[in-house]
Amino acid sequence: FIDRVKAQQRNWIGRSEGMEVDFSIDGTDEVLKVFTTRPDTLFGATYMVLAPEHPLVEQVATFAQQAAVKAYVAEAAKKSEIERMTEGKEKTGVFSGAYAVNPVNDEKIPIWVADYVMMGYGTGAIMAVPAHDTRDFEFATKFGLPIVQVVQPPEGVDWRGFVDDGIAVNSGPYNGLTTPEFKKRITAD
């Protein structure tokens, strides 16, 4: 029995349950694949972030942004993962010049390169939902990026940075669904 429990733990440690979502890169045939545990927040994705080591960084950087992106990637390479992940660390990043297309609403959202995203987690790219993720909120606030609420928390709880279950808002045909219902429905869709 103990061996079976240990085997089950090995299979689950570090594993997140979620789904992969493809965002097309505007004006190209490239696709930016992200892993998310919160597909119910897709309507709140207002920008994308690539880890500095992501293989698409050089490809998506526009001519006008290439020098800035290369300089940022070089600086990020000097930091350890621990330095990059430190809680409360000031967020840094650079705009790539490119845009991804949000698959749920066809909105073009900017693609950034930032060292708070790690290549070793998921796909090394995230859909940033600043209304419902603390790190994304700090980054969006610093760089003046849009923040769209898509989860309504219980009464009296601030929606900014709210990461728990709630009711879908600003989410098109999914408005009014609870987080678990929304996750099931959008995953099926």
Q: What is the pTM of this model?
A: 0.87
Cα 120 to Cα 53, 54, 77, 81, 127: the distances in Å are: 10, 10, 14, 10, 16
Provide the mean pLDDT of the chain. 89
Higher pLDDT, 83 or 55: 55
Among the ranges given (11-25, 81-95, 120-134), the one the predictor scored with the smallest mean pLDDT: 11-25
> Has residue 33 got a pLDDT over 70?
yes
- d(C-alpha 4, C-alpha 51), whole Å: 36
- CA dihedral (98, 67, 145, 76) in degrees, to 10, reads 110
pLDDT band for 7, please (50, 70, 90 cuts).
very low
Within a 10 A sphere around the Cβ of 35, how many other Cβ atoms? Answer: 16
Average of pLDDT values for 62-67? 97
Q: What is the pLDDT of residue 82?
A: 81
Tell me how long the chain is. 189
Average of pLDDT values for 11-39? 84
